[in-house]
Structure 1
Amino acid sequence: MSNAFEPSTATLAPHYPVVVIGGGQAGLSASHYLKQQGIAHVVLEKRRVGHSWRSERWDSFCLVTPNWQCRLPDFPYAGPQPQGFMLRDEIVAYLEAFAAKVQPPLIEGVAVTRVSRPAAGGFEVETSLGTCRADHVVVATGGYDIPIVPACAHALPADIVQVHSVAYRNPQQLPPGGVLVVGSGQSGVQIMEDLHLAGRQVHLAVGSAPRSPRVYRGREATEWLHELGFYQLTVDRHPLGDEARHKTNHYMTGRDGGHEIDLRRFALEGVKLYGTLDDIRDGQVTFKTDLTRNLDEADEVYCSIRRDIDKYIANAGLEAPEEAPFEKVWAPAADPATLDLRAAGITSIVWAIGFRADYRWIDLPAFDGRGHPRFTRGVSPVAGLYFLGLPWLHTWGSGRFLGVADDAQHLVGVIAQRLAAPREDRAQPQRAAEPALT
Structure 2
Amino acid sequence: MKITIIGTGYVGLVTGACLSEMGNDVLCLDLDAEKVRVLNEGGIPIHETGLAPLVARNVSAGRLAFTTDVDRAVGHGTLQFIAVGTPPDEDGSADLRHVLAAARSIGQRMSDYKVIVDKSTVPVGTADRVRELVSEELERRGVQVPFAVVSNPEFLKEGAAIDDFMRPDRIVVGADDERAIDMMRVLYGPYLRNRDRLLVMSVRSAELTKYAANAMLATRISFMNELANLAEDLDADIESVRRGIGSDTRIGYSFLYAGCGYGGSCFPKDVKALIQTGKLHGRPLQILSAVEEVNNGQKQVLAAKIVEHFGADLSGRQFAIWGLAFKPNTDDMRDAPSRDLISELLRRGATIVAYDPVAMELAKQLYHHESQVAFAGSPLEACEGADALVIVTEWKEFRSPDFAALKTKLKTPLVFDGRNLYDPALMKSNALAYFPIGRGHHVPEESGR
The interval holding the TM-score normalised by the smaller chain is under 0.3
Q: Which has the higher helix share?
A: 2
Q: Which has the higher strand share?
A: 1
What TM-score comes out, normalization by structure 1 length? 0.24
What TM-score comes out, normalization by structure 2 length? 0.23
Larger radius of gyration: 2
Greater relative contact order (Cα < 8 A, sep 6+): 1
